[in-house]
Structures are given as structure tokens and as C-alpha cells.
Amino acid sequence: MKIATMDIVMFVTICWIPFMIAYMLINETKFKKNIVIGVTLPNEAHDDPEVNRITDTFKKQTWGVCIALTVLFLLMLVVPNKMKMTMWMIGIELTIICPYIPYIFSRRKLLDLKNERGWVQEKRIVTVNTSALSSQKWLSAWLFVPPVILCLVPILFDRDFMFIYILLAVMCASFWAGYRYLYRNKAEMVDENIELTKALSQIRKYNWGKMWLVTSYAMAAYCLTMALMEKTAVFGFAAMILITVFVCYAALRIEMRTRKIQENLTRNSGSEWYVDDDDKWIGGILYFNPDDSRWVINSRIGTNSSVNIATVPGKIMMVLLVLLMLGLPFMGVFMDSLGSQPIEMAVTEETVTVKSGMKTYTVEKDDIAETELLAELPALRRKWGTGMDTYLEGKFSSDSMGAVNVMLDPTQGPFILIKTEDGAYYLFGTRDQQNTIGMYEQISN
């Protein structure tokens, strides 16, 4: 049984994500800043049997979800299905949502236990001078300049991907803006220990900068890989995977080191008064506080940020996120239809026209220098367009021809190769063998 290339790519892309999410969520069973699974508890709860029972159950359930998703993805990989991309898009949604289901239910149990034991902390107003908390300076903007330049360098010898190189350079510049202006200089207050607050704030700010800087240089590495390995697709793809693995590892390492330090520094906190803002977090995930005017806020643990969905910008971002999630299956439906939609070819006295969906190629017959009927496709590397198992469309490259404009089904030969007087190449094919041969004879005549 042959497994489609697209299925392998999708499996490799998403199979590891549930385990990464689970690893981060299970890490929240360790007390950091008096918080466990999104619930603030006193120091005495660290060794409470019922708390430990809830956290142990949560761990088992979370790993169980990961194993179930992996089995599902393996079935999707091997079971024939005409709506494969639709199923993979739904799989992405399940990958993001399902690991949080045990988290939300376990958090609810801890909140009930908290109320039952009378562990709800009284509210206090404590003023902290955030400007005096950290003497640590911001990373210089010049540190983000090299990756921006490296992203633009490939334009000198590869104009086909110019738009992507410029886009990634803009992203690197925006990473500096994100590092500098999305960070909220909010005191990392756990209790009334100001020195502890100062240390926690400095740690978050330092690792926040490392996260953005690593991501910027990763973008530069992507650009250089695209440019330098364009003619060696296999090595280029392998290099892309290695860069992605490195970025994920580096980001996860920075996040977990930050959490470990937070855990160690706050190990003895929670014996007396401590900060408790559980009522501001929906499900322990979404921040909702109408009294807070900031729309970007620091996450409770680690280095990340979140949005305040009680603000207008926060509501807009949440709506966009929901629309994106709802739109993923429809994107899959579109891609499935794209892989099977008809490819129509017409030959008149003046032109050769090939159309599929909304995309049309037209070649003037007076401009045609040579035509050839190919039984097999030459080795092609996609530069722009669609590269599915049953549909290729866009600009590709070949060692023998250079740039080639392509519209065909690679599984349904033969294929018509057209060379124009100005040296441009076109590769066309329909999903019907006899029709393609008939079109070739008309063009030749």
C-alpha cells in the first residue's frame, strides 16, 4: 500500500504537537508562584493527598489524549479517503483543543476543592513601583538587524522568492517590535516579598528577549536554506526540518528553564498572604478583566503573553482566532476539491489555453518554438504555487529547463511540453490520456 506524500508531510507536521502541548501542561502540576493547573493554592496544598490525586489523574488523562490522537493520525495516514486534507485540517483542530480538555476539567476539580477547604485568598491592593524593579536593559535593536539583512541577501541571486524573502525580513523586524512593545512591565508579584518580585520580573524580561532573538535568527536561516538549497530539494527539506526542530527545542528549553526558576524561587511562598487572581482567568487559559485596560498581558507562568478578552482588541483577536479554527475544515474541503477538479485544455488557431478552477494559462501559437509529448515528468522543484499528489500548478524549476510554468495531474500522463521563442517553458496535461494526446496533435499541426 502506497502512502501519499502529502499524508506523510501532514503526519510529520502535526503528530508531535499534542505531546509538546501535553508536556507543557503537565509541567503545570508543579507549583510555580503558588499555581498548579491554573489554580492558586496555599503552601499546605503542596502535599495534600486530594490535590496530588487530581494532578496524577490529570497526567494520565493528558497522555491518554496524546496516544489517542497518535492512533487517529496513523489511521488517517493509511486509510484511503477522498477527503484527506479535510480530515487533516480537523486533525489540526483536535491537536490544539483536545489536550486542554483534561486541563479544564482538572482545574474545575481543584477550584471546587479550594472552595471546600476555604483556601480562597483575600483581596489586597499592593502598590509596586515597576520602574524600580529591574535594572536590566532592553536588548539593542541592532541585534535584530543581522537577521533582517540575511533574509534580504538571497534576493541578489533568487528573484523568484523575492516576496517571501521580503516578508520574512519584515517578520524579523516585527519580532523586535514584539519583543520591545508587547512585553508588559507588570510586577511578577507572588506575595509581599519585593525582592522576590524583582527577581521574577528580571527573569521573565531576560528570557522574553531570548525567545524573540532566537526566532529572528531562525527566520534568517529559513531564507538562506531556501536560497542555497533550492536545487537540492531533499537536502533543503531536511534542513528546514532541522531548523524547525532547533527553534522548537530552543523555545521549549527557554520556557521550561524560566518555569523551573519560578518554581524554585517560589517554593516556600504561600504560607501567609499571596496573590490570588484565579477569578480573572477563564478555564485557567483566557484572561478576562474589565478593570484592566491592557489588552496584552503576561501569562501567569513562563515567558509567554496572553490577551485580555475584556478589551476591544482582545475581543477582536479572539474572534479572529475562532474564525480561523472554524475555517480550517473548509480550507481542507477546498484543497481536496483542488486536487480533483478538471483541467481543461483548448486549442484554437491563435492560442493554447489551459484552465483549472480560477487559474488560466494562455500561450500564443505564433510564439511556440517547440512542442514535445512526455511519457514521464522531469524532476521538478516547486517555487510558487500548488504541489499536491494529484495537482501541480504554478512556477517550478528543472535542471534541464530552468523555470517552468506547470498545470497538470502528475499521476495522469502523458504531458505536453511547450517551449516559446523567448525561452519560456510550459508543462501541461489533462486528467484524460486521450484528450492530452489529441491536444498535442492539434498544437503540433
Q: Which residue has the cell 489524549?
A: 65
Residues 367, 98: Cα–Cα separation, whole Å: 56
Domain residue extents for the chain: 5-334, 344-444
Q: Are 87 and 6 a contacting pair, CB within 8 Å?
A: no
Contacts of residue 150, defined as CB under 8 A and 6 or more positions apart, other chains included, come to 220, 223, 224
Checking if the pLDDT of 404 tops 80, the result is yes
Q: What is the pLDDT of residues 337-372, one digit of tens each?
A: 888 889 999 988 889 999 998 899 999 988 989 999
Checking if the pLDDT of 94 tops 70, the result is yes
Burial environment of residue 223 by CB neighbours within 10 A (0 to 12, 13 to 18, 19 or more) = buried
pLDDT value of position 312: 93
Residues 288, 295: Cα–Cα separation, whole Å: 10
* Antiparallel, parallel or unpaired: β 425-428 and 402-408: parallel
Q: Are 137 and 104 a contacting pair, CB within 8 Å?
A: no
Residue 308 DSSP one-character state: B
Residue 134: band (very low, low, confident or very high) from pLDDT cuts 50, 70, 90: low
Checking if the pLDDT of 80 tops 60, the result is yes
Angle at 168 between CA 159 and CA 319, to 5 degrees: 130
Stated pTM of the model: 0.84
Instruction: With residue 384 as reference, give the H or E element that holds it.
Output: strand 381-388
In this structure, the dihedral spanned by the alpha carbons of residues 189, 190, 194 and 197, taken in order and rounded to 10 degrees, is -60
CA atoms within 13 A on the CB side of 18: 27
Residues 148, 110: Cα–Cα separation, whole Å: 47
Q: Are 247 and 210 a contacting pair, CB within 8 Å?
A: no
Q: What is the pLDDT of residues 293-325, one digit of tens each?
A: 888 888 899 988 888 999 999 999 999 999 999
Checking if the pLDDT of 132 tops 90, the result is no
Residues 268, 34: Cα–Cα separation, whole Å: 9
Checking if the pLDDT of 397 tops 90, the result is no
What mean pLDDT comes out for the span 430-445?
Answer: 88
Q: What is the pLDDT of residues 282-296, one digit of tens each?
A: 998 899 999 888 888
Residues 287, 277: Cα–Cα separation, whole Å: 10
Class of domain 344-444: mainly beta
Residue 128: band (very low, low, confident or very high) from pLDDT cuts 50, 70, 90: low
Grid cell for residue 78: 493509511
Beta-bridged to residue 402, according to DSSP, are 398
Checking if the pLDDT of 37 tops 70, the result is yes
pLDDT value of position 275: 87
Q: For all residues of the chain together, what is the average pLDDT?
A: 88
Instruction: Give start and end residues of each alpha helix (H) in 118-184.
Output: 145-152, 162-181
